[in-house]
Structure 1
Amino acid sequence: MSEAQFAPSALGTKEHWDAVYSRELKSFQEYGDEGEIWFGEGSMARVVRWLNAQRVPPTSSILDIGTGNGMLLVELAKSGYSNLTGIDYCTQAIELARSICEKEGVPQHVHLEVTDFLETFHPVQQFDICLDKGTYDAVSLDPSGAAEKRRQYIKSLCHALKPHGLFIITSCNWTRDELLIAFGEDFEIADELPTPTFNFGGHSGKSVTALVFKKKKSNL
């Protein structure tokens, strides 16, 4: 999807996500339902498999930007990673994530914080790895100045990552080439994670893109 095709959407507002996670928290409390996993469980497995294949040390500091219900952090903790942080600007999302971490027996490995990545998140120390699974997509739909929000996102990302830190993004709104343009000034492509392809009218494509970026030396 090109930038010109984007239109303001409720999906880009905090009010929308407050309502979503209020419902999901209530559902978890009443029925034990952990809620929706963005892009499906396969999207989490791809990230975990890549980290394992790269032999990323289990003590590496990992930040999940817009963690939602925290299921990606749960999967990482179950895979042996022990220095995990999840942030979200929705109080109900963090409450849900905390409850799920308790249920899954991994709260000791996960730090959760209610904060806005673009405005109020000021980490004491930078992270080895930052993860994004749909948050940049939501920022891109914000009706109150999405272009500026995307620029602020990249600034916040540069501040959050250590020198040579890795950024793994999964997106359904942006193609590989569009993400390379958006992040190319501050990051270099390190890898592309395999995602399902589709065929239509004799052409093939992808509905989801997953890329690994490395912070450039000029932005250390």
Structure 2
Amino acid sequence: MHNYLDDSLPLSPVHSDYEATYHQIEEGHWWFQARRGMVFQLIQELQLPKSASILEIGCSGGPLLLALRQAGYTNLTGIDISAQGVQLAKQRGFEHVAVMDGAKLEFADASFDLVIASDVLEHIENENQALQEWKRVLRPGGQLIVFVPAFQFLWSSHDDVNQHFRRYSSQQLSTAIAHNGLQQQRLSYWNSLLFAPVALVRLLRKLLPGTEPSPSGDLQLLPAFLNTSLLSLLRTENRILRHLNLPVGVSVFALARKPA
């Protein structure tokens, strides 16, 4: 599930439909809510001052920025390749949001204390260019939070619809971070409690006769009780992640630091 559409490829009707669906349901969908909760938790654990300069790459319509603003953070910037998403964020009162390529940032060196990129890196063909740009705009000692989808064997039509270039193991993400001169501080899988059923479903789909990708990939509205149940499950996992890292999951995240 994405919040960044690669601008090197024109959106086909299927991807345009996906983008419209995305902006409609990202607020209440269990997966998006749980991931935002985990990112917010990581930010809070950094104990940054409320005046810290924060950049979200792939901000979409701004739900994470909104949560940060409500928590008292005052220096928030967002970018996204989706003009529709950026317009929605502006309607929410965010002035410092813009349509921009996540691998070609239009910011000065050392502009931010924290850069957040949730499900962005897999959409960018040249991961080193992206990570170098993210490091460039960080101040010395600044922090980077990166989430990506995990395990190439979980590749499905959902990844095709999302225009992914790759999925990552924890080792691959760790290697990419180190290769680009960032100091890894934390590495863990996420969405571990649902890893087994997700893996089973995706592997079974590969054994069935080929089906065309849905315009919405795996992005589906669920009955309210099921949405609430899945959200509660992942919120429990988020609490577990306050104390330990997990060895497997549908996603993987890293916290890294630019050397002082």
- Structure 1 length-normalised TM: 0.71
* Contact persistence 1:58–1:82 (CA under 8 A): yes
Shift of 1:64: 0.4
Of 147, 150, 171, 1:170 maps to 147
- Calculate percent identity across the aligned residue pairs: 22
1:16 is matched with 11
Higher relative contact order (CA 8 A, sep 6+): 2
Quote the RMSD (CA, aligned, Å). Answer: 3.0
* Stretch of structure 1 that moved more, 77-86 or 43-52: 43-52
Which amino acid letter does the alignment assign opposite residue 164 of structure 1?
Answer: G
* d(CA) in 2 for partners of 1:65, 1:48: 15
2:39 is matched with 47
Cα deviations across residues 129-178 of structure 1 (Å, max 9, x unaligned)? 00011111111xxxxxx2xx212112211211111110001111212211
1:214 is matched with 257
* Contact persistence 2:135–2:182 (CA under 8 A): no
Of 46, 69, 75, 2:67 maps to 75
Of 160, 173, 195, 2:137 maps to 160
* d(CA) in 2 for partners of 1:41, 1:138: 21
- Structure 2 length-normalised TM: 0.61
| Unaligned runs of at least 5 residues, structure 2 | 150-166, 200-246
Query: Taking structure 1 as reference, are residues 199 and 35 closer, same or farther at Cα in structure 2, changes over 3 Å only?
Result: closer
* d(CA) in 1 for partners of 2:182, 2:110: 20
Cα deviations across residues 70-129 of structure 1 (Å, max 9, x unaligned)? 111111111211111001122222112222x24xxxx4xx52112223235233751000
| Unaligned runs of at least 5 residues, structure 1 | 1-10, 140-145
Shift of 1:189: 1.1
* d(CA) in 1 for partners of 2:54, 2:169: 24
Identify the structure with the greater strand proportion: 1
1:142 is matched with none
Of 183, 189, 200, 2:184 maps to 189
Residue correspondences, number? 185
